[in-house]
């Protein structure tokens, strides 16, 4: 996204099936490729629904790093 992705807004490259439309393409931001999944961010079967866990974790991170928080 030209001016960065605002907190709480889905990336414009996120497809309906939650895959990245530009995965493995040069225009994919370096940050996306450098972000390594880990247990703290992604959760596991002990956390119940892993997707809901990850969305909650990332939403909290966005909230905590939002300008003028
Ligand atoms: S990997 Fe990066 S470019 Fe692709 S959908 Fe996720 S945030 Fe967007």
**pLDDT for the residue numbered 25:** 96
Which tens digits make up the pLDDT trace of 19-58? Answer: 999 999 999 999 899 999 899 999 887 878 888 899 899 8
Give the domain ranges of the chain. Answer: 37-65
Q: Establish whether residue 61 lines the binding site of ligand 1, counting it when its CB lies within 6 angstroms of any ligand atom.
A: no
- How many Å apart are CA 59 and CA 69, to the nearest integer? 13
Instruction: Give the highest mean pLDDT range of 12-16, 44-48, 65-69.
Output: 12-16
pLDDT at 15: 97
C-alpha dist (Å) from residue 30 to 17, 39, 40, 58, 64 = 22, 21, 21, 18, 22
pTM of the predicted model as reported, rounded to 2 decimal places: 0.75
- Report the separation in Å between the CA atom of 31 and the middle of ligand 1, taken as the mean of its atom positions: 9
State in Å: Cα 13 to ligand 1 middle.
6
Position 69 scores a pLDDT of: 59
| Residue 29 confidence (pLDDT) | 92
């Amino acid at each position: 996204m030209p001016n960065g992705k605002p907190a709480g807004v889905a990336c414009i490259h996120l497809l309906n099936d939650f895959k990245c439309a530009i995965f493995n393409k040069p225009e994919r931001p370096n940050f996306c490729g450098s972000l390594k999944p880990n247990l703290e961010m992604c959760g596991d079967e002990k956390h119940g629904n892993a997707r809901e866990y990850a969305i909650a974790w990332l939403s909290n991170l966005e909230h905590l790093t939002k300008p003028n928080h």
